[in-house]
Structure formats: C-alpha cells, structure tokens
Structure 1
Amino acid sequence: MDDASAPRPVAALSFADIVAGAGGRHPTDVLAALNVGAGADARRLASEAARPPPASVLAQGDGLALPHPLDAEWRFDDATADALLARAVDLTQAGEAVLLLGVPTVVLAAARSGAARRFVVACEDNVIGAALAARVAADARFVRAAPEGCAAAIVDPPWYPAVFDALLTQAGAACRAGGWVLVGAPSAGVRPTAADERVASLATAVVAGLSLVADEPDALTYRTPAFELAAMRTSGVSAWLPSWRRGDLLSFRKTGPGEAQPLPPARPAFELTLEGVRFRLIAGPAVPATPLTPLVPDEVFPSVSARAAGRDRANLWTSGNRAFVCDPGSTLQAMLALAARNDLWPKGLDPAGIESRDSPSIDPIQRVDELARIAARDLAHAAMLVGVSSWDRSVNDARFLNGSSTAFRRTLRGGPG
C-alpha cells in the first residue's frame, strides 16, 4: 500500500501545489524563482503558471462591491468566516457582545447564523461599510454601540505593522477582562521581516493587556481578490489561484488594562462606485492639468504590496489595481459629473461642488469620457478574472472618505487634510 504521507515527486506537483508549500511567498516571487531554475520541472511549472485558466467564478463577497487595493482588503472565504464565528460563539455566552472589526465576510456569516450573540460591527465609512450596515439593519442582534465591554473580538488587520498593531490594540481595548481577541496575522514566509514584526506585535499586545494563548499557523484561508488576480496576470502569473493566501490565527486573552494605539492618519479621498467597480482619488495639491497617466503602460500595476517601488506616485486607483497619476482637482470634477450622471449624491457634497479655482482648466467632457472608458475596461477585466456574477453589480455609490468635501478641498489648496 502506498504511503499517503510520503512527499510527492516534483514532477507530480502543480504550480498551485508549489505556491501552497512556499510558506506564504507570493506567487509572483515563486514564478521568479522558477524562471531562474535550470531543470525541466522548473520550466514546466513556470509554463503552467503563465497558462490562463478556463473561465471560472470566484465569489468576491455576497452583496458587496469589489475589494479595493488601497484598503488592503483580503476577505476570508466562507468556511474560514464560519469557523471564526463558531470559535467566538464557543468562547462567549448567550447575549454577550462580539466585536467584528474589519471582517466583512464574518459579518455576513453572523447574519446568516442563528448565533444568540450581540454583534458590534466596526468598519470603514465606505461603500463596503454601507452595504454591511444595510444588510444587518433589520437584525436585532446587530447593535449600534461603542465597541466596549465585548466578550470577544474578531479582527483581521492589514499586514503592515503600524495598522496591524493599532487594530489589534483597539480590539483589545474593546474587550472586558477575560475577553478573547482572535486575530488574523501573516505567516513568517510573507516577507523577510515578518518574523521580527511578529515579535514586535506580540510585545505591543502585552503592553495592551493581551496575553497570547494560541498561535495556529495557516489556519485562515482568504479569497484572492480581483485586484490581486489582475496584478498577478500583469506579472505573468495566470494560473487559477482562488484561495492561495493563508494566515495564522492568533488567540489572545484580555488579562490586564491597556490603551489602544491610533491608526496612522489617512489622507482625504473621494470614491466613486459604478456597478461595483470602485475608483478612489486621493487628495493632494492641485497640479497643471494633464491626461490621466497610467503608472505602468498597461494601467494595471503589477504588485499589491504597499511597499512596491513607485506605487505611492499614483493618486487614482481602481478596484482592478489600475493606477494613474492625475491632477486631483480636475479628476474630482469629472468624478462628480459621473456621479451626477448616475444620480449619486456624495456624502458631504455641497451643491456648488468644487470651485473652479481648485483646479486648472480642463475639458470636463473629455475627462469624464476618459474615466468612463477606464471604468468599462475595469468592469470587463474583473468579469474575465472572477466571473460577472462574483460581486454585486447593483452597487453604485459616491462619497468622500477620511473627512468631508471641505477636507478634500483644503488639501487641493495645499493645506493639511
């Protein structure tokens, strides 16, 4: 009888198998390593990585618009979301509060569950937060209350130390003594500094009154977002990797007092959502009007890392990882025109919109048409990558983020947001 536990020979492995065993290394890094390999197996696997898969549907979130790269939003798959919710329920008593912080698919899991808990949802004030609020508005288990005195919290911070530590400590501050904090964390192979960052985050947790009870490697599975599939295609990875990313589950117990760290300040932005495809314009001082200039020739930026070289030059991003450099004043005017065309009135927008002095002169029709064509390309590309039914295409929205229209306008004039 064959030994099922024996390692499979390389010749029997697929590119997806290699990625799964790479300890969290990104598929594009795995492909780069294969491309320097000299053997036939390396050439076969590299060729497989570049082969487009048959058309498939990869759900991006029931009832939600597409995730956006600037949010670093990787959503748990349904099995992981259900398991995390079940864990929190097991650790708490009927009627106790559970904080759901930055975990949209766990909110959806709670909504479809029969769990007798009170759920406090904390998320960004954007189109995703609005959709979740609408989804649970009629469910009495979801309470509009400050996150405090919770018996448990589930949080999945972006995997960058400053934001990770802030959300971890905020979840801890929201819990009562003896409460539990369940946190999604990067594995050691995600980047060379990941192990050191883990040590530093655990030290931060201790100061915040949290004691690590369990560390479960690769316990969490994430859906690959459409923006990451787009970036991988641009980098040469076309293989079907619907849920390649894994995360560790850290379980903490609240054992002492501690204060929450603030999140790093976010710049004002304006976001326009059309058929679930999201444009986000980051505020900055007005510059001479120029065409929408893609950061790379084919528009789709080849990385999803916030640390990628040159990434911070772009101030207009789509949910398909398209990145552009533009004048924010004239581009905002065009986005507002598109919002008006679709009968969307942004939160905090005054009837006068943005005054003409906030932006150099530009043909508004030309800029609106540019954005409309980009939106069409983004929509078609997302449909090709994850299937036309994988996200809610009825979502249309327009709003200022991280402040009001006044904050955006102030930034255009060179003042602080």
Structure 2
Amino acid sequence: MHIQLFNTDSEYTKSLGKAVRAAVENHIDGRPTEKTLHQIIVQSAGAYPVDVLATLNSLGISYQEDHWAYRANTLSKSESELAVPPSLFADPHPADYDWRFDSATVLNLTDRLMAEAKGGKIALFGTKTVFPPLIELGADVTLFNKSKAILDDLRSAGYTAGLVECDLALPLPAYSNSYSVVLADPPWYLDYYQAFLRRTAELLRVGGIMYLSVLPELTRPGAKAERMVLLEEAAAVGMVLVNQVAGSVSYETPGFEQQSLNAYGLYCQNWRRGDLWVFEKQQESNEGLVEPVTIDEPIWVEYRVGRKRIKVKPGNPVDMTPFSYRAADPSGTILTQVSRRSPFRKDIDVWSSDNYAYTVTGICVLHECFRQLEANHSIPQIVSTLVSQGLIHHKEQADLIALLDELTQ
C-alpha cells in the first residue's frame, strides 16, 4: 500500500525529515544498529505514524518491523483487532479526543501528585484514570469532567465523592483558591488549553502547582507556534513555567485510533507521547477568568450499547426526510483521520467509539432505535415496530438494519 503524508506543509515535512533521521541514528559500541518502526515513531516528536512511515519510505530508510508497530498486513485478523484492556470506563470516543494514559504514566503521575500535594487538595481536569488510584491512596481529590457518562462509570464502580460534572470552559467560582495541585490533560488544541489554564488559575492557591500535558512539536504543522502561545496564555493568568519533561506521558492507543491506522495498513501499539510542563501559580490574576472560553464543538446525544459509545447529532422531530446513510469519509466507513482538522468531521451525523462514521438523513429514526436498544430490544424487533408505526418504509428496512449492525457489533 502506498503511504502518503497526511500533513503536507513544506516546512513541517522538512522538520519531520530531520526528526526521523535523528530518530534512526543509533549506535551501540560505536556501531550503527537498525531501529524498530515503533522506536522511530515514538522518537519522532509526536508526528502521526502514517507521516513517519511515509517519510521513512520517501527517504529510503530501512527499519525493523516489531510487534509494537506492525504493518497490518503482517498480522493475523485476531492480532490486528487487539483492543485496549478493559477498564471500569466504557470505550473512548474520538469525538471526545479521549486518549487515556497508559498504566505506567498513571502510576508515575499518582506518585508525583501525592508528593507535591503534601496532604493538600488535588484537582483533576480530563484525567479520569488517575482518580481511582488517588482515592485508594487516601488523597483529597476532585475530578472535574464534562461527561456525565464517565462520571456515572465511576459511580457504578463505587466512587461517589469528589466527582463534579462541569464544563471547564466556564468559571467555577465555588472552587476558587482551594487546591494545591492541578493535573490537566486537555485535548491538544489552543481553545481547550486556554480553558484548562483559566480554570487552573482560578482553582489553585498562590504557590500551587499545575502539571499539564502538552502536544509535542511535530504533532501537526503549527504545533511549535501553538506551544509558544500556550506559554503566553499561562503567563496572562499568573502561571509561570518551572519545569518541562519531553515525552514523559504515554498514552494507550484507543480502539478508534487503531481503526484509523489500520485503514493505512498500520498497527501501532501505545505510540503517542506528550510533554509534561510544570507551572507554578505565582500571582493572582483576574484577567479573563470570569469570561467563558468559546470552544466550537458539535452537540451530540450519546447512547451506550455494551461498552460501545455511539454519538448521534440531534434531530428535528418534524423532519420527515426518508432514512438513508453513507460513509462520511469517502475512503470508507472508518474515519481515516480523527484529528479536528479532518475535513470529514463536519459531515458526521452518527459516530461510534470504534470509529465508524456516517452521514444520515432521517436521523430521528436512529435516535428512536438507540433508545430502544438501550432498553434491550433487538434490532429486528425495533425495525419491525418502526415499520408498523409508519416511521420508516419497507424499502428502508435493509439499510437501517445494516447500519445498526455495523454500529453495534
């Protein structure tokens, strides 16, 4: 399969070429040694694996294939469909930019937070997997999260205290100046960073510490400049950078991202790294803290089918358009790039946590289907009921069943 760069910006391509060359340079006892594909990807400053492989091919650089970053065509079907180990949470969903720390990172961050807090209060922004181990260690910790579904998962597992459902783009005056430490892992976009920094400045006491995951320099074109803006945003709210450790937070490869990589013929296990920046709140600043941050994301209605999470755009109840669907990405049913920059995200009306994405007409029918699926009705039973009620025509049955099967299997 011919691999082409997803990011084609000329300056970015030049920088990636330098990073890849640096990543493959390795010597043991003065002798060159060939690196594995996974090693090269991990050491390429956050560049997407597809871009790293395309660069290796264009530069004619050889590498070893290894079990952490196979070409998908070297795998058996069972190997290529390996999933992230089950957790107490339902599957991560691409619409939420839900990359979760791997187990080693969770342990490392837990130790850091406990040592830094010294018995003080800890706030977690977007880092739900760190919450349970901190609770088990007796920490005074609060998880601030927008997702009711995530918080319900924790409640179902027996965690009842320290859970706050909120939008971090909005002020939280009830919690101001209350915390010694904040750990924040926002989606890697400037509007989210701005929101998380403002909430941190609001919640931290003067002298308090923030640990922030930061996108590496080759995450995308412009990432280096965005990192500089991030520093400016932090300074504007009284936060000063006191330390940074490149590549020190590692993420599990979620099922939705593995699906995208498979579409390009790749299988990459836990390749993503983030930098950890440490800030100290050195002064109070009211600049912009009371103003909401505008984050332009679509509204979704979420349904659960087993561990799967399926998001559907809201429908208009008076819309009588016949039901139909098509893949949102012209390449196929799997969205091949889950970045916010993908031109196909705007066309998605229904999106599963395993990254099947479709454009749909007559979307209210889908909402009714998923409500009944959550009530444990079978797909044939649901479709039969919809036909009898005149909500779909007989000729639409096959399409509706096919879509529901694709999204729920």
- Number of matched residues? 351
In structure 2, the residue matched to 1:262 is 293
* 1:108 equivalenced with 2:132 (yes/no): yes
| Partner residue of 2:323 out of 290, 300, 308 | 290
Question: 2: CA distance between counterparts of 1:181 and 1:99?
Answer: 9
Is 2:89–2:150's contact at 8 Å kept on the other side of the alignment?
yes
Structure 1 range deviating more: 308-317 or 180-189: 308-317
- Describe how 1:160-199 pairs up with structure 2 within 5 A: 160-199=189-228
Structure 1 range deviating more: 325-334 or 205-214: 325-334
Is 1:337–1:368's contact at 8 Å kept on the other side of the alignment?
no
Q: CA deviation at 1:52?
A: 4.2
TM-score (norm 1): 0.75
- What is the identity, as a one-letter code, of the residue corresponding to 1:178? G
Can you list the C-alpha shifts for 1:63-100, whole angstroms capped at 9, x where unaligned?
11110000001100111112112111111222x21001
Question: 2: CA distance between counterparts of 1:154 and 1:287?
Answer: 47
| Partner residue of 1:311 out of 345, 348, 364 | 345
Q: CA deviation at 1:38?
A: 4.5
Question: 2: CA distance between counterparts of 1:182 and 1:5?
Answer: 38
In structure 2, the residue matched to 1:159 is 188
Point out where structure 2 has 5 or more consecutive residues left out of the alignment.
Answer: 1-25, 166-173, 379-388
Change over 3 Å in CA distance of 1:370–1:335 after alignment to 2: farther
- What is the identity, as a one-letter code, of the residue corresponding to 2:301? F
Change over 3 Å in CA distance of 1:288–1:62 after alignment to 2: same
Structure 1 range deviating more: 24-33 or 12-21: 12-21
- Describe how 1:278-357 pairs up with structure 2 within 5 A: 278-283=309-314, 286=319, 288-295=321-328, 296=330, 298-327=332-361, 328-342=363-377
- What is the identity, as a one-letter code, of the residue corresponding to 1:245? R
In structure 1, the residue matched to 2:401 is 369
Point out where structure 1 has 5 or more consecutive residues left out of the alignment.
Answer: 344-355, 378-417
TM-score (norm 2): 0.77
In structure 2, the residue matched to 1:83 is 108
Q: CA deviation at 1:362?
A: 5.4
Question: 1: CA distance between counterparts of 2:249 and 2:106?
Answer: 9
Q: CA deviation at 1:22?
A: 1.5
Question: 1: CA distance between counterparts of 2:327 and 2:206?
Answer: 50
- What is the identity, as a one-letter code, of the residue corresponding to 1:88? L
Can you list the C-alpha shifts for 1:303-328, whole angstroms capped at 9, x where unaligned?
12110122211121111111100133
In structure 1, the residue matched to 2:16 is none
- Describe how 1:8-407 pairs up with structure 2 within 5 A: 8-9=32-33, 12-38=34-60, 41=62, 49-53=71-75, 55=78, 58-60=83-85, 62-94=87-119, 96-111=120-135, 113-114=136-137, 116-137=138-159, 142=162, 147-148=175-176, 149-238=178-267, 241-258=268-285, 259-260=288-289, 261-264=292-295, 266-283=297-314, 286=319, 288-295=321-328, 296=330, 298-327=332-361, 328-342=363-377, 369-377=401-409
- What is the identity, as a one-letter code, of the residue corresponding to 2:348? A
- What is the identity, as a one-letter code, of the residue corresponding to 1:108? P
- What is the identity, as a one-letter code, of the residue corresponding to 2:345? R
Q: CA deviation at 1:168?
A: 2.3
Change over 3 Å in CA distance of 1:215–1:367 after alignment to 2: same
Question: 1: CA distance between counterparts of 2:128 and 2:326?
Answer: 33
* SS of the residue 1:264 aligns to: coil
- What is the identity, as a one-letter code, of the residue corresponding to 2:369? A
* SS of the residue 1:180 aligns to: strand
- Root mean square deviation of aligned Cα: 3.0
Question: 2: CA distance between counterparts of 1:50 and 1:92?
Answer: 44
Can you list the C-alpha shifts for 1:180-221, whole angstroms capped at 9, x where unaligned?
111111010111201110111111111112111111110100
Question: 2: CA distance between counterparts of 1:64 and 1:160?
Answer: 24
Q: CA deviation at 1:367?
A: 6.6
Q: CA deviation at 1:128?
A: 1.8
Change over 3 Å in CA distance of 1:181–1:294 after alignment to 2: same
- What is the identity, as a one-letter code, of the residue corresponding to 1:272? Y
Question: 2: CA distance between counterparts of 1:101 and 1:136?
Answer: 20
Is 1:58–1:242's contact at 8 Å kept on the other side of the alignment?
no
* SS of the residue 1:197 aligns to: helix
Question: 1: CA distance between counterparts of 2:128 and 2:224?
Answer: 27
Q: Identity over the aligned pairs, expressed in percent?
A: 23
Change over 3 Å in CA distance of 1:274–1:48 after alignment to 2: closer
* SS of the residue 2:146 aligns to: coil
Change over 3 Å in CA distance of 1:44–1:175 after alignment to 2: closer
In structure 2, the residue matched to 1:381 is none
- What is the identity, as a one-letter code, of the residue corresponding to 1:180? I
Can you list the C-alpha shifts for 1:121-140, whole angstroms capped at 9, x where unaligned?
111233222112333535x6
Q: CA deviation at 1:6?
A: 5.2
- Considering Cα pairs closer than 8 Å and 6+ residues apart, tell me whether 1 or 2 has the greater RCO: 1
- What is the identity, as a one-letter code, of the residue corresponding to 1:329? C
Q: CA deviation at 1:265?
A: 5.1
Q: CA deviation at 1:235?
A: 1.6
In structure 1, the residue matched to 2:6 is none
Can you list the C-alpha shifts for 1:318-340, whole angstroms capped at 9, x where unaligned?
11111100133222222223223
Question: 1: CA distance between counterparts of 2:320 and 2:31?
Answer: 58
Is 1:182–1:249's contact at 8 Å kept on the other side of the alignment?
yes
